[in-house]
Amino acid sequence: MNEKIKVVIADDQYVARSFFEMYVKMSEEYELAASLATAEQAVNYCLKNPVDLVIMDVMMRYGLDGLTCAKTIKANNPKIRVILVTSTAEYDWIEKAKAANIDSFWFKEYDESPLLEIMDRTMHGESVYPGSPPNLDFGMTQKISLTERELEILRELTANRSNEEIAEKYSISLNTVKRHIQNMLNKTGFSNRLELAVNAKALGLVVHDEDRTENRPKKTL
């Protein structure tokens, strides 16, 4: 009889961890090796124990984020398969995950494929990534109506960046920044840049890298 596939779960939300545990236990092929509340715990566990598959959330309230720790796990042991998951609609992380050789990526709230299917395909050697970004209602429009540049600027607005700072970062003129913001206001019906930022952040429409990588105090477990 073949040994079961050893799975490590890392998610700071208890409900999400329980959900993932259920998926692991649904299949006779998988065995829950550890269910952890921080990404750093997963890194340390993988260094000391045999692990075949890691399911890890990108965003963590405590310690390092999942994308950073997933890179470390793959660097330490490329044979460990890693599935990054998120409940936000931030599609920018897809390219970052691919660049870090992360095996697969799954949107908790928006992916039509069940997690167990992603797990099976990943363990059979596939790299499974969403074919298109999640599309959400955003004011009077939808995310899909925003251009890539508008989404870049929207990320900066969620981090409370000034128009001048945004212009400098993307090497564009101040008038161009203002034009993109006005275009988003026209599309969404929001009154000002603050409403754009607040609603985008509340929806998880975009997530600034600083919000992902901010090193928060570690939780006492």
Helix, strand, or coil (residue 68): helix
d(CA 203, CA 83): 23
d(CA 9, CA 33): 8
pTM score, two decimals? 0.85
Hey, what amino acid is at 137?
Answer: D
**pLDDT for res 3:** 87
Contact 158, 201 (CB under 8 A): yes
d(CA 90, CA 191): 23
| Largest pairwise CA distance in the chain | 67
Question: Chain-wide mean pLDDT for the chain?
Answer: 91
Per-residue pLDDT of 160-190, as tens digits, reads 999 999 999 999 999 999 999 999 999 999 9
Neighbouring residues of 62: CB distance < 8 A, sequence distance ≥ 6: 12, 37, 38, 216, 217, 218, 219
**Which residues of the chain register pLDDT less than 70?**
1-2, 214-221
Domain 137-204 belongs in CATH node 1.10.10.10: yes
Contact 126, 104 (CB under 8 A): yes
**Delimiting residues of CATH 3.40.50.2300 domain(s) in the chain:** 5-134
**Delimiting residues of CATH 1.10.10.10 domain(s) in the chain:** 137-204
CATH architecture designation of domain 5-134: 3-Layer(aba) Sandwich (3.40)
